[in-house]
Amino acid sequence: MSYSSLPLTSNLFQLTFLTCALALAGCGGGDGDTVDSIAPKPDIGVNVGGNGNGGPVIPVSEVNITPVTLLDNNGNPTRIVSTSSATAKVTVTDAKGNGISGALVTFTGSGVKFGTSNGAVLTNGDGVATTSLVPLSADDTGSYSLSATANYNDISATAAQYNYSLQPVSIALMNLTSGESTLESGASTIVTLQTRDTGNNQFQNDVTVNFSATCGSFETASVTSSNQGNVNSTYKAIDGNGNLCEGRQTITASTANSTTPSRSIIINIRPIAASSIVYTTNKEVILGAKNSGSSSSGEIEFTVYANGVPASNQQVELSLVKSPSDFKFISQNNRSTQTVKSDASGKVTINLYPGNIPGPVEISAALTANKNIFAFAKNIAVATGRPSQSGITLAIGKNVLVDNFIDSTSVSAYLTDRQGNFVPDGTVVSFVTEGGTISPNCSTVGGNCSVTFTSQNPRPANGRVSVIAYVEGDKDYSDLDGDNVYTAGVDKLLDNIGYFFRDDNEDLKFNPGEFVYKRGESPASVKAAACAASTLSQPNLPNFILKGSKIETECNDSLATVIRKQFIMGFANDTPTMTNYDLNSESGIISFEIYGNSMKTVPMPSGTTFSLQAKDNTKNEMTCEPEIFDGNLTLPGVMPLSQVNGTTNQNFFAGTDIVRYGVSTSGCANGDEIKLTVTTPAPSSKTTTFPVL
């Protein structure tokens, strides 16, 4: 038997051959040599390990792969891949053309899914590798290329690309149904169908189906079939804009590529039935009175719902429950109950028209179909009017500033209407000043606003600065007919004012060169009326020369005017001026006056402090203990600045309580010393000492 008659890898052959070889070696050579020797190892080929598949790995020096062949279900070559699948095939051989078993072949191609998860298979005993492939999408009609790479014993070979096209399946949409054929408006139901391949009459997965409806929406409008071609989605009787559907509606299913006939079913939706109404204005509504100068209207809204969804075209009955007698709603002259319809968003918007009477407002909205379903609009009020003549208050941080430094303070205006309510936010208050500087205006928030006044040039010589605040508003009147509305000829103006001026010299009369404010021409319907007398805080022009010698009265019987408030600011030096010193020898009382200038028109700056220091120089049983018993130890922030008449030069401020001081000299005798220390606050912070005894 020759060696080649058995496979090289036969274990039986290897064992027999090795046994025999060892036996021959033990017999020695034929020449009688007694030295043991081992015969040469026979050439039995290369001993190789397994291929990992239970078989041997045949040593090769070359790996070849045939072109890819694409076969249909009947085994015929094809270049079409459909959902009924096709088979890709290659053969892997060695250099002699023998098939290589166990080679790893990896197929690659686009638009398809292979029979294995990674597209790789092993060759069989004949070196043949096959795999199935189907389209990834039943709607894909593209063309692609297919290739395969073989790998064996670290030697690779790649087949040439093979071109193919995907063929869509002829799909039929079957069994389109809905869970319910009749729905409440806003309700939902499930819609189902199946996709079937008409070619093989099998249910087909991976088909994209689109749903649409004449009115309504879908939880998922595009669904891919799976699990025996099943498709389902949830239909809601609410359109994409959130509006409710009603009546006869059509649901349609179609494939993504539109090559399959669509299918439709009819679903009946009951009429929209409102189930609730809610007041949906989420903020307090405070309206200005009709003549307040603020917006003359406002609005609120209710929302009607059906099954929690805004319901359109629903009738709602609106009624005034509480309101001032001149309040109107819906339209400018309406106070009666009205029926309106909700809009496309289920909303009912109501216009509000306040009158001149303040008070709370409450409006009811009820469903006409069921008046037991209703809601109230609250937190509405007519509460603010125009500033009134008596409703302006000025608050000043301090009213005597250091003259020889830059010193500042705040000035706040507080405004109310005739009923004591805050004026509307945004009411503008203007300011002008004789000296120093002041912010030109401020806009109210919560009925008040503030500006800053600063001591700087120009500085009036007498240290007294006239400042005036003014704002559009109403005169004070007596409401004789009790309707809270001023009626000329019926109601009585209490303090009629017209044009005004800034009274710089405080003589209560207009002098050429002083600031004048003219409101403008009055309507022809108003009548001239007597003007009130001018005062320091409310300067008023009783008449004004307009042309030549023609004099026209600038006060009339209308309600509207520019209300004003004048106040005096002081500029004082930080060095005090002492005057009118007197020592009463009998009582021991010392009296004097302290001013902030030599003209004696202002006190020391606000916040100035006064103190005494005593030095007992006499030897007696008494101790000198002086005390300021009359006068301010610390000057207040705001002090009374009495009027100074600039025409007659009469000074009504001199000698007032704010500048007078009295010092007792208890226990003091001739020879003792008493000093007065005067300290001004920042920004000067200066201390001056006077001997008073």
| Residue 266, beta-bridge partner list | 250
| C-alpha angle 158-160-164 in degrees, rounded to nearest 5 | 125
- Omega within 30 of 0 (cis) for the link into 542: no
Residue 29: is its pLDDT beyond 80?
A: no
Residue 44: is its pLDDT beyond 60?
A: no
CA atoms of 252 and 59, how far apart (whole Å): 64
Pairing of strands 644-645, 650-651: antiparallel
Q: Which residue has the tokens 């007698």?
A: 325
* pLDDT category of residue 460 using cuts at 50, 70 and 90: very high
CA atoms of 473 and 495, how far apart (whole Å): 13
Residue 522 sits at φ, ψ, to 5 deg, of -85, 155
* pLDDT category of residue 7 using cuts at 50, 70 and 90: very low
- Which helix or strand (DSSP H or E) is residue 24 part of? helix 11-27
Region 158-185 average pLDDT: 90
Residue 58: is its pLDDT beyond 80?
A: no
Residue 274, CA atoms < 13 Å, CB-side half-sphere: 28
* pLDDT category of residue 521 using cuts at 50, 70 and 90: low
CA 370 from chain centre, in angstroms, equals 38
CA atoms of 434 and 552, how far apart (whole Å): 27
CA atoms of 75 and 88, how far apart (whole Å): 10
* pLDDT category of residue 362 using cuts at 50, 70 and 90: very high
Region 167-187 average pLDDT: 88
The proportion of the chain whose per-residue pLDDT surpasses 70, expressed as a percent, equals 88
Higher per-residue confidence, 451 vs 556: 451
What structural domains does the chain harbor? 1-47 (no CATH), 64-166 (2.60.40.10), 171-269 (2.60.40.10), 279-384 (2.60.40.10), 392-570 (2.60.40.10), 573-691 (2.60.40)
pLDDT digit string (tens) for 282-308?
888 888 877 766 667 899 999 999 878
Q: Is 441 helix (H, G, I), strand (E, B) or coil?
A: strand
Query: What is the model's pLDDT at position 553?
Result: 58
Residue 66, CA atoms < 13 Å, CB-side half-sphere: 19
* 207: its two tokens: 């088909």
Query: What is the model's pLDDT at position 56?
Result: 61
Query: What is the model's pLDDT at position 6?
Result: 37
Task: Give the CA diameter of the chain.
Answer: 174
Region 634-650 average pLDDT: 92
Among 16-30, 252-266, 327-341, the range scoring the smallest mean pLDDT is 16-30
pLDDT digit string (tens) for 581-638?
999 988 889 999 999 999 999 999 999 999 999 988 887 777 888 999 999 999 999 9
